[in-house]
């Protein structure tokens, strides 16, 4: 007889989690899920007022959190964020690289260098250097950690007119594997989530166009758009002991869009 399976706990009590882009949408849902599971959550957004608003919201619910504004396209701002959290909390256990922008949807022949840089500075460069800064802290702590990168179904399939965004997200998927490979020796698990069409501010225009929404729906096996909580569930799994033997993986949260 083999050993009995021990159901892992989803308790994050005592953990410090940085969730970038967490003042709204998917990031907000992930931060709320972590806080409800007992983590001390760092709310990160570009605007101080938005960070303070979410901090008040969470504190009213009895959650532990701090709001720290940061620009994820600016490496100096990222370093200040990580240093601030480390000084206040003493350790960092979880990083969710969720901050990102959709970028311009247009044919490749119409994309400018400025539009390329704007999207990649946040979606790829910011993720890269935030992961680097946090991984250095996790290595020094000697207690390991979890890094979760937000990719996209657009980084797996190849829809037209999203070349800049899709290229950044495809790079995120491959970068996740390299990070996982390099940092496994420090007991740092690195995984990625690839959301499909999730109902957020970034996708509301698509949902509002009935013809467009119907066309998109046909590509989704489950025949529904996702909710932010669907992604938050996967992010919670990847932050807990339930996923301790998973690293370098991509989890699609897309209702089956990438298999359709």
Active-site positions?
165
Q: How many C-beta neighbours within 10 Å does residue 210 have?
A: 8
Q: Which two tokens stand for residue 28?
A: 């907000």
Q: How far apart are CA 205 and CA 218, in angstroms?
A: 18
| DSSP H or E segment with residue 97 | strand 94-97
Q: Are 124 and 172 in contact (CB under 8 A)?
A: yes
Q: How are strands ordered across the β-sheet holding 145-150?
A: 65-69, 40-45, 16-20, 94-97, 145-150, 188-195, 250-253
The angle subtended at Cα 189 by Cα 183 and Cα 195, nearest 5°, is 125
Please tell me whether residue 43 adopts helix, strand or coil conformation: strand
Beta strand 65-69 pairing with 94-97: unpaired
Place of tokens 């907000």: 28
Q: How far apart are CA 193 and CA 98, in angstroms?
A: 10
Place of tokens 């303070």: 52
């Amino acid at each position: 007889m083999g050993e009995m399976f021990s159901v892992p706990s989803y308790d994050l009590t005592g953990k410090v989690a940085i969730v970038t882009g967490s003042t709204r949408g998917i990031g907000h849902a992930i931060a709320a899920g972590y806080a409800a599971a007992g983590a001390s959550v760092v709310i990160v957004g570009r605007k101080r007022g938005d960070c303070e608003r979410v901090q008040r919201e969470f504190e009213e619910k009895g959650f532990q959190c701090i709001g720290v504004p940061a620009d994820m396209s600016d490496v100096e701002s990222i370093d200040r964020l990580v240093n601030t959290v480390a000084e206040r909390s003493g350790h960092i256990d979880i990083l969710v690289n969720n901050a990102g922008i959709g970028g311009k949807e247009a044919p490749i022949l119409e994309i400018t260098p400025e539009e390329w840089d704007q999207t990649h500075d946040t979606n790829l460069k910011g993720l890269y250097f935030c992961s680097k800064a946090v991984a250095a802290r996790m290595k020094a702590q000697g207690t390991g950690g979890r890094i979760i990168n937000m990719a996209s179904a657009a980084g797996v399939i190849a829809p037209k007119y999203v070349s800049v965004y899709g290229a950044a997200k495809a790079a995120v998927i491959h970068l996740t594997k390299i990070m996982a490979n390099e940092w496994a020796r420090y007991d740092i698990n690195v995984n990625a989530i690839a959301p499909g069409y999730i109902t957020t501010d970034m996708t509301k225009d698509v949902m509002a166009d009935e013809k467009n929404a119907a066309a998109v729906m046909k590509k989704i096996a489950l025949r529904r758009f996702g909710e932010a909580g669907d992604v938050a569930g996967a992010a919670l799994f990847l932050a807990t002991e339930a996923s301790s033997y998973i690293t370098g993986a991509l989890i699609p949260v897309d209702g089956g869009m990438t298999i359709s």
